Structure 1
C-alpha cells in the first residue's frame, strides 16, 4: 500500500513539474528600456531587472538568462499594453529575501515566496482606460529590521513593519516629487539611518528617527545615486553619494559629513535618463559608471583605476541595434552579486555583465525581452527553424536555429552605421512559395517615421525597397509611437502574387504582381490585421475602435462592412472551411484601453460573415485556430482577468491555458511551425509552447 501511495505521489510531483513548464520565452532579448538591476542580498545567482515595457524579470544564473515574473501584477491591474517600472521601485528584504516589494502602477505589490506570486499591498488598480496611473511608482527601500519604506509620486513617505500588510504615513522628505522624469530613491544604512534623494532637487535628506524628521546634507549637489556599504562589511556607517557634476562623495559617519573622493567627467542635465551607476561589495570594491567614464576602486575609494571598455566589449546574447554610440557612454543602474564576483550594468536596451571587475563586458539579454511587438513572428513555412520578427526601435531580427540565436537584418543601410542606429519594424512575413523571400515593413525613426515595404530574395542578406507608402499614397504620419505604425500583410493562398497590405491610417492596399505595384482598394482607418479564406476568395480586415469587420469576396478588389461594431479585437479564419471565421466583438477605445461595461463577445460565422452566432462572453480578444487540428483554439481575454484560454471543441467551451505564461494577456498568436507549437506576442515579449495538444493541468 505504501509503495503504491509513493508511486502516486511521485507521479503527481512529476506531472506538476512538467506542467509548470508550458510557455518558454521566444525571440531576441533586450530592447525598450531596462531601468534597474537589483542583486539578491545573499544568493549570488539571483538578480532582478526592471523594465519600462515588460515589468519584472528574474535571473537565477547571475544574469546569464532571464524570465519574466510579473504576470500576477499585470492580471491585477488588467494591463493590456505594458507595466512601467523605474529605478528604485523594487527592493528585497536584506535578511528575509523571500519578501519582495515592487512599487508600480500607482500601487505597492508584495511577494512572500521569492517572486513566484504577487499580491496588492497598497493602493487600488488603475481605472480601466486610465493611461496615467500605470506610469506612477513608489520608490522602495527595506531596512535591516524589515521595515519597508515607500515614497509615492507626491513624495509622501510611508512605512510598513509587517511585510506590507499595513502602512503608516511618516512625512514628506524635503526633496522634489518622485516621478519617472524625476525619480527618487530612498536607501537605508545598517544602523537604521534613512536617506532620500530626488533629482533634480539638490541635497541628500537624512533621517535618524525612521523618517519622521530630516536634515539636509550636500545641499549644493544634485545626488544622482547613492550606495551604503553592505551589511557585514565592517563599514556599516559608510555611504557613497554621486552627484550631477561627476563628483563622488563618501561619508563614514552615516551621512554626518562627506569627503570628496573622486571626480569624473560626468555632466548630467535634467531629463537625462542615464544618471550613472554605483555599486559596492562587502570587501570594499567600488565601481562607478559615469557618463563616458568607468572607474573602479579596491580600497573603499582611496585609489582608483579607469577601464576603457571600447575594445573589451562583446554583444554576447544581445542582437539588437543600440541608439547610442558606445556601451561606455551610458548607464541607468549598476549592481554586484552577493559574492562580489559578477557586476551587472543596464541602460536602455542593454544588460551587460562583467566577471573581471569591469575590465571586460558582455551583453546578457537572453529572455530579457523588452521589445515592442506590434505583430507576431513570421515562421518560415519551408523550414520552421527559420523565423523573423519585427520590433519597434530595433528593426527586424532573424533566427536560423529555432530561436536559440538572433541576428539583426540590415534593411535600410542609410540607418546603419558604426553607431548601431536603430530603426522601427512593425510587420514581417515569409513568402508562402519562395523559401528565400521575405517582406518587412519598416517605419524609420524620428521625423522620417512612415511605412516602407522592403523585400529580400536571399534570406535577408540584401533588401530592396518596393513601396514607400507615404510617397505613393500620402497620409499624415506621427513622429513617435502612435497607431500609424500598425498594419499587416498577407498573401492570397491560391496565388501568392496577390498581396494585401493593411495600414492603420489608409485602409487596404493590393498588389497583383508580387509587390511591384500597388492600388488602394479600401479607404478606412483603424485597420489592424488581415485574414483570408483557404482559397483566398474571401479577405477580411479587422478594425479596432469604430468600424468593425470589413469583408471582400472577390480577392480584395471590393469591400463591404461584414459586421458593424465599435471594435473587433480578434479575428481568425478556419484553415480548411472556406466560409467559417471567428471574431471578438469588443468595446474598446483603442487596442489597449477598455471603454464601456459589457465584455467582448466571441462570434462565429459559417457563411463568410453574412450572419453571426454568439458563442461566449469571455471578454475575448486575439484568437487562434490551430491549422492542423482546427477544433483547438486559443483566446486571449482582455479585462476579464482570465488570461489565455483554450477550446477543444471549436470554440463552444473554454478552459484555462495560461499556466506559466510570462504575460497576463496576449496581443496575438502565431503557428510555431510544428504540430502543437504556438507563439504568443505581447507588447514587450513573446513566448512559445509545444504543448497545445496536451491535457496540461
Structure 2
C-alpha cells in the first residue's frame, strides 16, 4: 500500500491564519492596493487587496527568531527590494539578523548578523529602525536593539558598523527632502515599561535579560549618510519621527511617555505638542502626517484593557499642523465591520474597545484621500472616511493565533479542536476549511488542552488560561448555551493535557502543570467531567513543580516570549490513554521520566529508564508521550533535541526510532500516531526550530511504523514553530498547528 500527502506532498493553509501583535505597516510605493505588515512572532505578511486578506512572506528563513520582526523597509527606488530586521533574546544573548528580498518579499536571504533585534520585546510597536535612503538606493541604514547602527552602501549586500554607541535604537529615518540627512533616535532604560509583565525583584532589565544601555533617550543626526554623527538632544526617548512636508526644519516625534513633541530647528530643540491629548501619562509610539492635507496629523496613545477613561478607539487628529489635537470620533460597535466575533469576549463585550487596543501604527494611504490604516494587537483595519468608520476583513490570513494544540474527534472524520494562547478553542468539522468558536469564560483569555468526547457526543472539555495566571477546566455541550467551569485551579496552574478513557465511558483525566503543593498533578473524573479528584500520581520528592525545571523550560526553551511563562509552549502531549486497555494511562515529566498506571491512576510505575533525559545538556527534555493505536504494548516518547523513541514492551526497554543518523538533532515539538495498514502505525512528527538546539523547522512522517520516513518540503513557510498535529479518526485528514504561522491541513491518500 502506498501513502502520500496530497496533493503532491503539499499541505495547504487552513482557515486559521498566522499572526500575533501586528507592529508595523508599509504601503507599496507604486501600487496602493499592496500593503505589508510586520508581526512580533509570525514574520511579514502581504495584502494585495488593500487589507482585506493577507498571505505570509517567510520563504528562506531558517531560525524561529527570523519570524520575530522588529522592523522592515521597502525601497521606493526598486519596490521589489525589501529588508526585515528580526531577533530575540535567550539566556542573556541577543540574536539578530537583517534579511533582504529582491522579489517583493516572496523570498529572503540573510545579509547582516552584526545587530541584535528584539522582535517580541518592549520596543516592538515603535518606529522603523531600518531605512533606505530616498536619494541613493544603494544606501541603507539599520539600528539594532543591541550592536549599534550599521550602514550598507551596496543596497544591503554588505554592512559596516557606524561610530554610534551601542544603544537601544527606536527609530532610524532619512529626511525625505534633504539629501544625506539621517536621523537615529534611541530609547532609555527607564522607558521600557511593559504593562503585561511583572518585573518583580529583577527589575525590567533583568526580566528582559538585558543590561543598561542608556539612562536617557538621544537623537543623533548625520549629514553625510552615516559617515559622521552629531548628538542633537538628550532626554526624551524617540519611538517614531515624522517630517513636516511644509517645512524641512520641522519634525514631529512620538516620545513614548514623553508624549508628542515638535522641533522647528531640525531636531536640536523640542517642545511639547500635546495640547488636547489625553491628560496624565500615556504612551505614544506613532505620529503621521496626511500627505493629502499637510496641516492634518494623526496619533494614538497605546490603550490597554486595564486602562480607564480612554476612548474605545483613541485616534486623535490635528487640523493645524499638530499644534492642537482632538479626539477624531467616539466610536461605537456600529462604526466597525468585519471584525471577528471573538474580539467581543475579551473586552467587556465592546468590539470598539478591542479595535483600539494597543494601536501600534497609523498610516495614510498615499494614493486615496481619506483612506487610513491602523494595526494593533489583533490585526490591520482600514477606513475610507478619514477614520469615522473602520473595516477589518475578518483579519483573513492574519490573526492573533499562537496555537497550543490540536485534538481530533474520535468519531467524526475531519473534526478537530484547536487551542491557542489568546483565544478560547476553535472547532472545525471540515478538516480546517472553516472554524467556529467555543465559548470562553469571563476572566480567561486563552486555552491550552482540549478533548472532544467520544462517549458523550457534543461534549467538549478544555483548559482555559486566566488573566492572573489562573486556570480552569471548562465544559461545553453543543447547543447548550454557555460554557461552565468544572474544575477551578489557582494561580500558576495550567491544564497541560486532557484525555478520555475510550474503554470506560464518562472517565476523563487532566494533567495539571505548576506547583505540586498548590495542586499540580494528574486529576480524574468518573462522572463525565462534572467533578474531579486528584490521583495518586506523585513525582520524586525533589520535584516541586511540573515541569521540574519550570522556569527554564517554559521561559527559556519552549515559550515564544522569554518572559511570558506558558505562552505557546505547546500542550496536550504529556499524557495519553491506552486504547487497548481500560484504566491504563501514561504521564510524562519533562526532565525526570515517564510513569504508567494500570489501575486508573491509583498506582504508578516508573517506565522511563534508558530514555535520553537531558542527555548532553538541559535542552533534551520530554515533550510528548503516546500509546500506539495499532500495537498493544508499544509506546512512543518524543524529546527536544533527541528525537522520537519507542518501546515495544510497555516501557521496559527503549530504542531510538528517529532520526537514525548519529548525532543529528530533532525537536519533537508535535507528534501524532494513527492506524496504518497491515497493523503498522502511521506516524507524523514535527520539529520546531530553537536557538538552544541550533535546529531548523522540519516535518517527517512514516507509513510503516517508523521503518522508513519521508519529509515534507515546506521552505515557503519559513522557520515554522510546530506545536501540535492531529490525525482524524479515519487516519486520512491531518491538521497541524503552529505558534504564529497559522494552521495547515493535509490529506493522507492511499
User: TM-score, normalized by length of structure 2?
Assistant: 0.73
Look up the match of 2:724: 668
In the alignment, is residue 635 of structure 1 matched against residue 689 of structure 2?
A: no
Equivalent of 2:288 in 278, 281, 286: 278
Look up the match of 1:619: 665
CA shift for structure 1 position 652: 1.9
CA shift for structure 1 position 500: 1.4
Q: 1:70 to 1:318 in 2, by over 3 A?
A: farther
Look up the match of 2:185: 197
Equivalent pair of 2:342/2:423 in contact (CA under 8 Å) = no
In the alignment, is residue 428 of structure 1 matched against residue 450 of structure 2?
A: yes
In the alignment, is residue 653 of structure 1 matched against residue 708 of structure 2?
A: yes
CA shift for structure 1 position 370: 3.4
Q: Distance in 2 between matches of 1:601 and 1:304?
A: 58
In the alignment, is residue 177 of structure 1 matched against residue 167 of structure 2?
A: yes
Equivalent pair of 1:23/1:662 in contact (CA under 8 Å) = no
Look up the match of 1:84: 68
Q: Distance in 1 between matches of 2:287 and 2:584?
A: 53
Look up the match of 1:241: 253
CA shift for structure 1 position 166: 1.4
Structure 2: gaps of 5 or more residues: 1-5, 88-95, 189-215, 302-310, 515-519, 540-545, 549-572, 614-620
In the alignment, is residue 485 of structure 1 matched against residue 529 of structure 2?
A: no
Q: 1:346 to 1:264 in 2, by over 3 A?
A: farther
CA deviation map 1:174-217 (0-9, x unaligned): xx9326xxx34434424332122234546643322112444566
Equivalent pair of 1:552/1:560 in contact (CA under 8 Å) = yes
Q: 1:265 to 1:78 in 2, by over 3 A?
A: closer
In the alignment, is residue 35 of structure 1 matched against residue 23 of structure 2?
A: yes
Equivalent of 2:387 in 335, 358, 364: 358
Equivalent pair of 1:190/1:237 in contact (CA under 8 Å) = no
Q: Distance in 2 between matches of 1:227 and 1:261?
A: 13
Equivalent pair of 1:40/1:338 in contact (CA under 8 Å) = no
CA shift for structure 1 position 513: 2.2
Alignment of 1:217-616 (within 5 A): 223-228=238-243, 239-243=251-255, 246-247=259-260, 249=262, 263-266=275-278, 269=281, 272=283, 275-278=285-288, 280-281=290-291, 284=294, 286-291=296-301, 292=311, 293-296=314-317, 307-311=328-332, 312-314=335-337, 316-317=339-340, 319-320=342-343, 321-322=345-346, 326=353, 327-328=355-356, 330-337=358-365, 339-340=367-368, 342-363=371-392, 364-376=394-406, 378-381=407-410, 387-398=416-427, 408-413=437-442, 415=443, 423-446=445-468, 449-459=469-479, 461-470=481-490, 477-478=491-492, 484-485=493-494, 487-505=496-514, 506-515=520-529, 516-524=531-539, 525-526=546-547, 529-537=574-582, 539-541=584-586, 543-564=588-609, 565=611, 566=613, 567-584=621-638, 586=639, 599-616=641-658
Q: 1:268 to 1:23 in 2, by over 3 A?
A: farther
Q: Is 199-208 or 554-563 further displaced after alignment?
A: 199-208
CA shift for structure 1 position 308: 1.1
Alignment of 1:2-41 (within 5 A): 22-27=11-16, 32-41=20-29
Secondary structure of residue in 2 paired with 1:531: strand
Equivalent pair of 1:570/1:623 in contact (CA under 8 Å) = yes
Q: Distance in 2 between matches of 1:653 and 1:117?
A: 32
User: TM-score, normalized by length of structure 1?
Assistant: 0.78
CA shift for structure 1 position 465: 2.1
Q: 1:328 to 1:551 in 2, by over 3 A?
A: closer
Secondary structure of residue in 1 paired with 2:574: strand
Q: 1:452 to 1:261 in 2, by over 3 A?
A: closer
Q: 1:259 to 1:450 in 2, by over 3 A?
A: closer
Secondary structure of residue in 2 paired with 1:275: strand
Equivalent of 1:163 in 148, 155, 163: 155
Q: 1:259 to 1:167 in 2, by over 3 A?
A: same
Q: Distance in 1 between matches of 2:271 and 2:114?
A: 43
CA deviation map 1:148-179 (0-9, x unaligned): 10112347221012232211222227xx9326
CA shift for structure 1 position 490: 0.5
Secondary structure of residue in 2 paired with 1:107: strand
Look up the match of 1:111: 101
Equivalent pair of 2:404/2:420 in contact (CA under 8 Å) = yes
Equivalent pair of 1:194/1:206 in contact (CA under 8 Å) = yes
CA shift for structure 1 position 330: 4.2
Secondary structure of residue in 2 paired with 1:510: strand
Alignment of 1:65-144 (within 5 A): 65-70=53-58, 72-73=60-61, 75=62, 77=63, 83-86=67-70, 89-105=71-87, 106-123=96-113, 139-144=129-134
CA shift for structure 1 position 315: 5.3
Q: Is 137-146 or 253-262 further displaced after alignment?
A: 253-262
Q: Distance in 2 between matches of 1:458 and 1:437?
A: 7
Q: 1:544 to 1:353 in 2, by over 3 A?
A: farther
Equivalent pair of 1:317/1:366 in contact (CA under 8 Å) = no
Equivalent of 1:679 in 735, 742, 750: 735
Equivalent pair of 1:534/1:577 in contact (CA under 8 Å) = no
CA deviation map 1:385-418 (0-9, x unaligned): 76543332433345577656655544324x3xxx
CA shift for structure 1 position 544: 4.9
Q: Distance in 1 between matches of 2:738 and 2:153?
A: 37
Look up the match of 2:142: 150
CA deviation map 1:517-561 (0-9, x unaligned): 323231233395222232344745353531232222344442222
Q: 1:262 to 1:569 in 2, by over 3 A?
A: closer
Structure 1: gaps of 5 or more residues: 1-16, 416-421, 471-476, 479-483, 589-598
How many residue pairs align between the two structures? 623
